[in-house]
Amino acid sequence: MSGNTLGTLFTVTTSGESHGPGLMAIVDGCPPGLELCEADLQVDLDRRRPGTSKHATQRQEPDQVEILSGVFEGRTTGCPIGLLIRNTDQKSKDYSAIKDQFRPAHADYTYHHKYGIRDYRGGGRSSARETAMRVAAGAIARKVLAAEGIRVRGYMSQLGPIEIPFKSWDGVYDNPFFSADPDKLPELEAYMEQLRRDQDSVGAKITVVADGVPPGLGEPVFDRLDADLAHALMSINAVKGVEIGDGFACVAQRGTQHRDEMTPQGFVSNHAGGVLGGISSGQPIIAHLALKPTSSITTPGRSIDVHGNPVEVITRGRHDPCVGIRATPIAEAMMALVLADHLLRHRGQNAGVRVSTPVLGQCD
């Protein structure tokens, strides 16, 4: 299928550009009978929303989502759920200067070569604005998962050079960085202040965790759960790397060290990140993603125009100095979408499977 649809049974199809009239999504395959209202989606949208922190773009978008179908008297009907968010704070003329120029490290150059035409206003389809609909659709996936006791949460685990250890889920959603360590907040604030003064941007690392996932989700061999997670997470703007469990640390590990031993009391460790052979093991699913520093900065850079002439580009407009700061809700949404799809796929093929072997949790 074409590139703007994700999933097999539980699917989401999106459309919309940064400075067009609005964003749309159609979520198809949602199980019927689920309580759902716009407020369920708005909670997650508000966490991703621009204009809420001084460390993010100052574009003011209420991101008010409207459900146009698929819900009747407060419950899903099994029919496709249509979602609409109107764009309200476009300032398109900010972008006319770059109409014929390619911002370095931006998608301008590649869209131009692919399509021969591009909506240059705010990045068009390549803008991070597109991710609003991922979050809205992900909120529906979360409800599907919640009905099965599955919860997806994320936090920022590194900002530029600053590693942020996980301390507690409490308060993660209450600070603009999604830091799971409140003690790190002053350092993060200071870093961002300096970054602004430097007219620069920086990368970040996000960690996403799903708890309560039963063993069995994932379709070997190509549609493994970890492969589909890698696909979904890498499809987020600016993501350049994805790890499951120990990820690249595995390279230097030995088998005796990496393997997660099992006892009747549970798994002894979770180096695998909850996936074995492409199938969930019942342990928490853990993924890490690396986001690059955004290319939209006001420090001039060398580039060319559409005729091949050299130009010096300064990206004005309103941008995030660290796209990673708002990426946590997006990463959560993508993991939720993948898990919901695999939950349905697994049920479809294996509805009648019963095993007497106990499901292991994690040892203390």
Q: Which of residues 222-281 bind a second copy (CB under 8 A)?
A: 222-224, 226-235, 237, 239-264, 268, 271-273, 275-281
What character string, x for contact with a second copy (CB under 8 A) and - otherwise, covers 171-210?
------------------------x--x-xxxxxx-----
Task: Count the Cβ atoms, other than its own, within 10 Å of residue 3.
Answer: 6
Q: Is 356 annotated as a binding residue?
A: no
Closest CA to 208 of 236, 185, 188: 236
Run of H or E including 311? strand 310-313
Stretch that binds a second copy, among 40-48, 54-62, 174-182, 351-359 (CB under 8 A): 351-359
Residues with Cβ within 8 Å of 262's Cβ and at least 6 positions away in sequence, in order, are: 268, 360
d(CA 28, CA 33): 14
Binds a second copy (CB under 8 A): choice among 40, 44, 63, 119: 119
Binds a second copy (CB under 8 A): choice among 51, 109, 171, 187: 109
CB 289 within 8 A of CB 233: yes
Binds a second copy (CB under 8 A): choice among 90, 126, 175, 179: 126
d(CA 27, CA 81): 5
Q: What is the DSSP letter of 35?
A: B
What character string, x for contact with a second copy (CB under 8 A) and - otherwise, covers 22-41?
xxx-x-xxxxxx--------
Binds a second copy (CB under 8 A): choice among 51, 62, 80, 171: 80
d(CA 337, CA 331): 10
Beta carbon nearer to a second copy, 186 or 264: 264
- Cα maximum dimension of the chain: 69
d(CA 338, CA 331): 11
Binding residues for a second copy, how many (CB under 8 A)? 170
Q: Does 355 bind a second copy (CB under 8 A)?
A: yes
Binds a second copy (CB under 8 A): choice among 36, 49, 57, 102: 102
CB 52 → a second copy: shortest distance, Å? Answer: 22
User: Could you tell me the two tokens for 181?
Assistant: 């360590």
Beta carbon nearer to a second copy, 18 or 175: 18
Binds a second copy (CB under 8 A): choice among 50, 124, 138, 284: 124
d(CA 99, CA 112): 11
Binding residues for FMN: 125-127, 237-238, 277, 292-296, 318
